[in-house]
Amino acid sequence: MRIENIEKTRLTADVFEEKNFGSSFSDHMLVCEFKENEWQEPVIKPYGQINFTPAMHALHYGQACFEGMKAFKGENGDVFLFRPEKNFERINKSAERLAMPAIPKEIFLDGLKALIDLDRAWVPSKYGMSLYIRPVIFSTEEIISARGSNSFMFVILTSIAPDYYNKPLRVKVADHYSRAANGGVGYAKAAGNYGASFYPTGLAKEEGFDQVIWTDAATHSYFEEAGTMNIFVRIEDKLLTAPISDRILNGVTRDSLILLAEKNGMTVEQRPIEVSEVYEANQNGSLKEVFGCGTAVVLNNFSAIGYTDKVMELPEITEESWGPQLKKQMNEIQYGIADDPFGWRVLVERK
């Protein structure tokens, strides 16, 4: 690994006042090229421009996938990653489905740690904020032929993550548009999954909602994901979440919340969730809460669910609600405040 240091940091106190997600980039980025059938030496260098022509393969064919992770700063200035091995494993699952070469573990994990160590001053120390980490692989061959690329670039970017959502969301159940099909790429963090979601999400926003709850493409009668989040439904004292499939992302936050909930003695069932059962539970008062989870947002309760022309207003969030309790427990592990019974926290050593 080669390191090219920036001459002068761009870091100022203003950076930590950033209100937008994903637009304030730290001093450095990691870049590693795949060519002649192998990954080359990774380079950490100043964040900035790279020359491409508009014939770059990924711009035409979407052969690209990414990960989302965060670095957290503890009270004594220690910086932690959260279950980075999970993201390492998943980016290679995504890469395989998109016919891209797997990233070696040492490039991903050692590169990641070296980058975060170098830019540790960029990790916000305020509870609720963090440094968002974006590993991405995209195809770089200068060709406009509809076949897989022969060259790729793996990049790790980091940018300031303010508190992501701060209010309960109103979400709309998809009854026409779909996100994924059996045999497709729904389980991968494939670039094209996101591009395809913006238009239906825009339509939901025009109706006054914040996000779409994706349902199965065939019948639109089962919950699959909510926006870019996995979804949980609490009916009485049981937490339900859709099972992992080739349509549903195997979320790291999803997995962590399941383990955390079980540790709290909560019952968790991974099974298909019917829209109609949630509707009925809301009618008869057994529906307690519905929330989405993901790296960016951690966990966000919903206040209302739209379905066709109906809107279910969900119960108010109270001190008894599980969502905020689980979020707090997750955050306290992530920031090094609480014990880490599962061994999820990874300290970024100072080199």
Among 34, 61, 187, 209, contact with its own copies (rule: CB under 8 A) = 61
- Least Cβ distance, residue 125 to its own copies (angstroms): 22
For 68, which DSSP code? -
242 touches its own copies (CB under 8 A): no
226 touches its own copies (CB under 8 A): no
Q: Which is nearer to its own copies, 157 or 239 (CB)?
A: 157
Tokens, residue 260: 């955390």
Tokens, residue 221: 């009668």
Q: Which is nearer to its own copies, 140 or 329 (CB)?
A: 140
308 touches its own copies (CB under 8 A): no
Q: CA distances (Å), 73 to each of 9, 24, 121, in order?
A: 19, 18, 10
Q: Which is nearer to its own copies, 62 or 336 (CB)?
A: 62
- Least Cβ distance, residue 42 to its own copies (angstroms): 13
1 touches its own copies (CB under 8 A): no
217 touches its own copies (CB under 8 A): yes
Q: Which is nearer to its own copies, 14 or 319 (CB)?
A: 14
Q: Are 57 and 149 in contact (CB under 8 A)?
A: yes
- Least Cβ distance, residue 211 to its own copies (angstroms): 10
Residues 95-114, mask of contacts with its own copies (x by CB under 8 A): -xxxx---------------
Q: How many residues bind its own copies (CB under 8 A)?
A: 72
Among 5, 9, 50, 271, contact with its own copies (rule: CB under 8 A) = 50
39 touches its own copies (CB under 8 A): no
- Least Cβ distance, residue 155 to its own copies (angstroms): 4
Strands 267-270 and 238-241: parallel
Of the candidates 119, 128, 165, 161, the one whose C-alpha atom is nearest the C-alpha of residue 18 is 161
Q: Which is nearer to its own copies, 54 or 285 (CB)?
A: 54
Among 134, 163, 221, 311, contact with its own copies (rule: CB under 8 A) = 134
**DSSP labels, 86-151:** HHHHHHHHHHHHTT-PPPPHIIIIIHHHHHHHHTGGGS--STT-EEEEEEEEEE--B--SSS--S-
Q: Tell me which stretch binds its own copies (CB under 8 A): 35-43, 59-67, 103-111, 279-287.
A: 59-67
272 touches its own copies (CB under 8 A): no
Q: Tell me which stretch binds its own copies (CB under 8 A): 9-17, 75-83, 92-100, 254-262.
A: 92-100
202 touches its own copies (CB under 8 A): yes
The CB-based long-range contact list for 50-55 (8 Å cut-off, 24+ gap) reads 50/153, 52/140, 53/142, 55/142, 55/143, 55/144
What is the C-alpha separation between 158 and 72, in angstroms, rounded? 12
Of the candidates 325, 311, 189, the one whose C-alpha atom is nearest the C-alpha of residue 248 is 189
Contacts to its own copies from residues 277-306, by CB under 8 A: 296
145 touches its own copies (CB under 8 A): yes
Q: Which is nearer to its own copies, 153 or 239 (CB)?
A: 153
Q: Which is nearer to its own copies, 99 or 347 (CB)?
A: 99
- Least Cβ distance, residue 256 to its own copies (angstroms): 20
Among 8, 19, 41, 53, contact with its own copies (rule: CB under 8 A) = 53
E strand segments, 200-307: 211-215, 222-226, 229-235, 238-241, 267-270, 273-274, 287-294, 298-307
What is the C-alpha separation between 207 and 222, in angstroms, rounded? 21
What is the C-alpha separation between 14 and 17, in angstroms, rounded? 5
Cα diameter, the chain: 63
Q: Which residues neighbour 179 within 8 Å (Cβ) at sequence distance 6 or greater?
A: 186, 193, 196, 197, 214, 217, 224, 225, 247
Contacts to its own copies from residues 161-190, by CB under 8 A: 174, 176-185, 190
